[in-house]
Amino acid sequence: MLKISFNTIRDVMVLEFDGDINVDAANFVEAVGWSLAKGYKKIVCNLEGVNIVDYVGISLIAVAYKNVINQKAELRICHVPTHVARLFTVVGLDRVFEYFLDDEQALKSFHDEKRIARVLSRKFRRKFKRISIGGIVEYQRKGAFDDTFYSAKIVNMSAIGVFAACDQIFPVGEILTTRIKAEDFAIELDTRVVWITDRQVQKQDPHSMGLEFYHISPENQGKIVDFVERHLSRLH
């Protein structure tokens, strides 16, 4: 039986698991559900004590995550053993949620997202306004085993993402390591593919991808906001 410890840190429920997440670990889903029922909207799952996660266990984690999303709550996973992380990569869960090294980083991520939201709402109310700039985007699948980056031409950019004309297309939902270089501005961060050219409909258009900034730090978000604002100010 999977053992579970419940700990609260401020408004966050931290669940620590010890044992195997398999066919006998339905209490994984129950523990997350109980936390949601008690009103916790921020949940951290510490997997440091987990020995084995099989494919039934993967399904249980996915069900728990879906329940969290349906409740408009947030889930973080930390202390993921190497063999479990490899399994997550095989089944694609590494593109669904982000893992953190320890509880401290997972807890800090909740605070960072709040800071990002404040920056966007206070300092940049026109956050969806796009600017046309010259520059390039270099990108590769996050976690790729080589240093090969594809290159694309920036079409436009906003505080929440960048639109680029490119040859190499990744599917919607893919997480990419991305480098943006435009004028005197350069930054590296993760993006998520949210749109790609429909070749059945847009046969004459170049291959294009819309990339949304993903799990962006407050520091990087501030740099992007400042850059976009500078360009917007030139238009008025």
- Mean pLDDT, the chain, rounded, equals 84
125-234: CATH superfamily: predicted glycosyltransferase like domains (2.40.10.220)
pLDDT at 200 over 90: no
Examine domains 3-122 and 125-234 and report if their fold is the same: no
pLDDT at 38 over 90: yes
Kindly give the pairing relationship between strand 161-166 and strand 12-21: unpaired
Question: In terms of C-beta density within 10 A (0-12 exposed, 13-18 middle, 19 or more buried), how is residue 209 classed?
Answer: buried
CA–CA dist 160, 215 (Å, integer):
11
Residues above pLDDT 90, as percent of the chain:
43
Question: What architecture (CATH level 2) is domain 3-122?
Answer: 2-Layer Sandwich (3.30)
Give the angle 100-101-104 at the CA atoms, nearest 5°. 85
Lowest mean pLDDT among 6-10, 51-55, 225-229: 225-229
Q: What is the pLDDT of residues 143-178, one digit of tens each?
A: 888 888 999 999 999 888 999 999 899 988 899 999
pLDDT at 15 over 60: yes
Residues above pLDDT 70, as percent of the chain:
87
As a whole number of Å, the CA-based R_g of the chain is: 20
Higher pLDDT, residue 46 or 109:
46
Kindly give the pairing relationship between strand 12-21 and strand 42-53: parallel
Output the pTM of the full model.
0.52
Locate the domains of the chain by residue range.
3-122, 125-234
Give the pLDDT mean for 185-190: 94
Token pair 């850059």 in the structure block, residue: 227
- pLDDT of 202: 41
CA–CA dist 48, 62 (Å, integer):
18
Q: What is the pLDDT of residues 109-143, one digit of tens each?
A: 777 665 555 555 554 444 457 788 889 999 999 88
- pLDDT of 207: 82
Higher pLDDT, residue 46 or 127:
46
Q: How confident is the model at residue 50 (pLDDT cuts 50, 70, 90)?
A: very high
- pLDDT of 201: 40
Give the pLDDT mean for 201-211: 67
